[in-house]
Structure 1
Amino acid sequence: MDMKNWTTGTQCVAKKEHCKPKAGEILYHKGDVLTLVGPGTRKGEYRARHNTTGVEGLVSGSNLREREALRIDPKLSLMPWFHGKISGLQAVSKLKPTEDGLFLVRESVRHPGDFVLCVCFSQKVFHYHVIFQNNKLSIDNKEFFYNLIDMIEFYSRSQGALATVLLKHKKKEGTKSAESKLLKSGWLLDLSKLTLGEILGQGEFGAVFEGEYAGQRVAVKNIKCDVTAQAFLEETSVMTNLHHKNLVQLLGVILHNGLHIVTELMTKGNLVNYLRTRGRFAVSVTQLLRFALDVCEGMEHLECKKLLHRDLAGRNILVSEDTVAKISDFGLAKVSSTATDNSKLPVKWTAPEALKSKKFSTQSDVWSYGVLLWEIFSFGRQPYPKMSVRDVRERVDQGYRMDPPDECPPHVYSIMSSCWETEPKKRPAFHKLRDTLEKELGKLHA
């Protein structure tokens, strides 16, 4: 990509050291990530903000390369050294030619479900049976781990009970190491710069912590289970493609105790709680419209990237320190249009055609956006109050739609209703919704 075409917001990785900055320039080291904030004073120069120090200054474009987005690649594995169910003999033949510290992990053929760590040392292969107890893994009953990723990480640093420290993994054919890919593309963060603070919440996949990364306040989602972490790798790849002021920004990931996904910290929590705890006396109609517009602009960005969110709801909208609403939780964001598991769908927010025949589209995201607008203007009430999920499914199919929330401006209710057209094609696109909301905001300020 030609340097001159980099736009504001592009993230770049430093190709070399720049330790003696001149006046107005920025100090950075090779591998540091910088965000471009505008053009510089000379040709080929940019103003940039250092992602970890937050310092702004000038930088020469020739010292930077664009931070690559990760492609969703099913071959990308957090455990490229895991070979699945193979026998001890097969493992030995895979570890040829033997070199000290070469290793792989396999599932035992004789004891299905048990793992074995196979390590080369002085021309021999040692097979260490991994003991599983109290939901933890161990080789010697002294060191305990939550998962294989942790175990391998530990023994790559210290020998412990093994014949040698683990030096080099034997990659399973057809896999690529997520770690080296993350490192190369500039998304792997440095564990030593992360401090974890208090726990913000406990999700079904693991905990979310408040923390600090190199001086910036961050939120950290920690996923301990290997299988889930692998699935979240997809969410992470989606997020590396997205830079927008109304989407929660991914800063990077750390591989330690499973997977840590590090994002900007949204100090004011989710939108539903924000509105419930403040209510109509503290939050003006202008502010409600601003939130609606924030989400609409974020969704318009997903729409132009041909991504679907599929779980757009107030609980997945977070509010920043300066009261900007941003979309989070791209866990279900997919390019494809058929869902796999219907049981987990949030029925009250999901369009009828998506519930019935799993037809997901930008138009089904627009339906959910209508429900989100209702949440915003009812100050965080649960949609379809007093109705069971089953009733909602049946009644909506028969044409039932929610009444406007108390004191909801009529124009806003007509926007909601337009999102709930039975025929998906008749629903407005996000860029049309944005125009309408901007006009509404304009009227209030006229």
Structure 2
Amino acid sequence: MPMEPRTNQPEVWKKGQQVVANYNFPGSSKEDLPFKKGDLITIINNTKDVNWYKGKNESGQEGMVPATYLQKRKEVQLHAMPWYHGSITREQAEDLLQFKEDGVFLLRDSVHFRGDFTLSVVYYNKVEHYRVILRQNKLEIDGGDCQFQTLIDLVEHYTKDADGLCTRLLQPLQKKGSSFSAVSVQDFESGGWVISQKDLQIYELIGKGEFGDVYKGTYRNQGVAIKELKDKERAGQAFLKEASVMTSMRHPNLVQLIGVVIGDTIQLVTEFMGKGNLVEYLRSRGRSVITKKDQIDFTDDICSAMQYLESKDLVHRDLAARNILVNDNNTAKVSDFGLAKYGDYSAEGGKFPIKWTAPEALRDNKFTNKSDMWSFGILLWEVYSFGRVPYPRIPLSDVVMHVERGYRMEAPDGCPQEIYNIMMQAWEIDPKQRPTFKQVLEKLNNLRATTV
């Protein structure tokens, strides 16, 4: 028997909307679509009864579904942490807090214990330092009795009660410049994004990265890619931030997040893209296999996704052929949102791929949709050169100098003039002179319609 569903008024859902099951539903007639807790259902149509919809499961089976057993998947939001100062030393923290009032505080990375933190707080003209230990995915003050899921939860607790500290946390010392943000595991749970490890089967390793390895697998008989975090202490928040960005996006040319596994390790589960990344696909097939039609299809797909990100004021910051994946139907999809950020963004001390990054982003660490457009121009060059590395005859150390002096790559052999014109517009030194993705998409749509 299913669990008792919620009794509040159900939400109104639109055709094509994806919802997640909160309870098991065995069905009571042949018209019903049975499902289990955690299943994803796509709404096909509403009915005269607001409590029932026609839905489709991930296997394509259709039937009637009760609204009260389902919930809309919610976007997972990032929470600002203006009091978190990152990797600063004890001495730097004391300098920042010098002459401040009692209860002024900041949090920073632990100098001696990687993955832990230090809470520094002023009390009677002295700065007291407390080690914050990360143990089994929970945070606690060394010697304290309480455990917390996030730094945000910890700070909130000690602003209400000193609970063993020298004083309550009364006023945060805000970090100058761009502040850090965090995401809570509970937000993934309440948003309907957490899936069960037992529903995953992992088969083979298909990719390796700095923080995580990618495996091919299945989720409830659906082919998926599973990105598994290597070092939770070092990069758990970065991993979850990438997932949080993906919860806010739904577009046919963006790799879709299916869910997140939270346990001894963190896993991001996404749709499986059978032909791998675009740069390897271009290099391995070459001119003998890839047609002009394939090239315009790929570029149009990518631009469509980027126009969607642009419309949401989302900056990708790492657009390149290596971060485009191709499925078995030859559809290209933008992936790897590990660096993605809403709005204008400046990153302190970030490492970025020089050959793909706009001059103003390299110079001022300022990333916008217009810097993404510069990267799109480089990506176009990759597509039409069949995966060659950009600036092939220029040493990496000299690329920035050549570009700022006005050098631009020549059109690849066989590249249509219309495409090269878009590249040159994307590489305008003044970001304001570069086109929008919406403007470029209109040109590519026209080219796609006339390319055979």
Query: C-alpha separation between the residues in 2 aligned to 1:363 and 1:177?
Result: 27
Query: C-alpha separation between the residues in 2 aligned to 1:381 and 1:21?
Result: 58
Question: What's the TM-score once normalised by structure 1's chain length?
Answer: 0.75
* Contact 2:183–2:241, Cα closer than 8 Å, also in 1: no
Which SS does the other structure have where 1:263 is aligned? strand
Structure 2 match to 1:6: 14
Query: C-alpha separation between the residues in 1 aligned to 2:279 and 2:30?
Result: 46
Cα 1:192–1:405 change in 2 (3 A) is same
Residue from 207, 220, 231 that aligns with 2:213: 207
Which SS does the other structure have where 1:379 is aligned? coil
Aligned partner of 1:241: which letter? S
* Contact 1:12–1:65, Cα closer than 8 Å, also in 2: yes
Q: Deviations over 1:398-428 (max 9, x none)?
A: 1111100001111111111111112211211
- Residue 289 of structure 2 corresponds to residue 282 of structure 1: yes
Identity in percent? 39
Alignment of 1:193-232 (within 5 A): 193-225=199-231, 226-232=233-239
Cα 1:7–1:424 change in 2 (3 A) is farther
Cα 1:62–1:206 change in 2 (3 A) is closer
Cα 1:354–1:113 change in 2 (3 A) is closer
TM-align CA RMSD: 3.1
Structure 2 match to 1:149: 136
- Cα deviation, residue 46, structure 1: 3.8
Residue from 421, 434, 449 that aligns with 1:427: 434
Structure 2 match to 1:99: none
Residue from 238, 242, 253 that aligns with 1:246: 253
Structure 2 match to 1:66: 72
Alignment of 1:131-146 (within 5 A): none
Query: C-alpha separation between the residues in 2 aligned to 1:190 and 1:55?
Result: 22
Cα 1:115–1:292 change in 2 (3 A) is closer
Alignment of 1:164-183 (within 5 A): 169=147, 173-174=154-155, 178-183=184-189
Alignment of 1:260-275 (within 5 A): 260-275=267-282
Which SS does the other structure have where 1:408 is aligned? coil
Structure 1 match to 2:364: 357
Query: C-alpha separation between the residues in 1 aligned to 2:202 and 2:300?
Result: 33
Structure 2 match to 1:369: 376
- Residue 196 of structure 2 corresponds to residue 190 of structure 1: yes
Query: C-alpha separation between the residues in 2 aligned to 1:212 and 1:169?
Result: 34
Structure 2 match to 1:131: none
Which SS does the other structure have where 1:23 is aligned? coil
Query: C-alpha separation between the residues in 1 aligned to 2:335 and 2:282?
Result: 17
Where does the alignment leave 5 or more consecutive residues of structure 1 unmatched?
A: 76-84, 86-108, 117-146, 153-167
- Cα deviation, residue 174, structure 1: 3.3
Query: C-alpha separation between the residues in 2 aligned to 1:268 and 1:237?
Result: 26
Query: C-alpha separation between the residues in 2 aligned to 1:364 and 1:189?
Result: 35
Aligned partner of 1:262: which letter? V
* Contact 1:421–1:427, Cα closer than 8 Å, also in 2: yes
Aligned partner of 1:360: which letter? F
Cα 1:216–1:368 change in 2 (3 A) is same
* Contact 2:278–2:325, Cα closer than 8 Å, also in 1: yes
* Contact 1:342–1:355, Cα closer than 8 Å, also in 2: no
- Cα deviation, residue 325, structure 1: 0.4
Q: Deviations over 1:20-56 (max 9, x none)?
A: 24334311234433233x32465645443324x5533
Aligned partner of 1:184: which letter? S
Question: What's the TM-score once normalised by structure 2's chain length?
Answer: 0.74
Count, aligned residues: 367
Query: C-alpha separation between the residues in 1 aligned to 2:330 and 2:48?
Result: 35
Cα 1:386–1:114 change in 2 (3 A) is closer
Query: C-alpha separation between the residues in 1 aligned to 2:387 and 2:332?
Result: 14
- Cα deviation, residue 273, structure 1: 0.5
Which SS does the other structure have where 2:286 is aligned? helix
Q: Deviations over 1:257-314 (max 9, x none)?
A: 3211111111101000001111111111011000001101111111111100000000
Q: Deviations over 1:373-409 (max 9, x none)?
A: 1100111111111211222100110111110000111
Which SS does the other structure have where 1:234 is aligned? helix
* Contact 1:308–1:334, Cα closer than 8 Å, also in 2: yes
Query: C-alpha separation between the residues in 2 aligned to 1:4 and 1:41?
Result: 11
Which SS does the other structure have where 2:32 is aligned? coil
* Contact 2:213–2:229, Cα closer than 8 Å, also in 1: yes
Cα 1:341–1:267 change in 2 (3 A) is farther
- Residue 320 of structure 2 corresponds to residue 333 of structure 1: no
- Cα deviation, residue 12, structure 1: 1.2
Query: C-alpha separation between the residues in 2 aligned to 1:356 and 1:273?
Result: 30
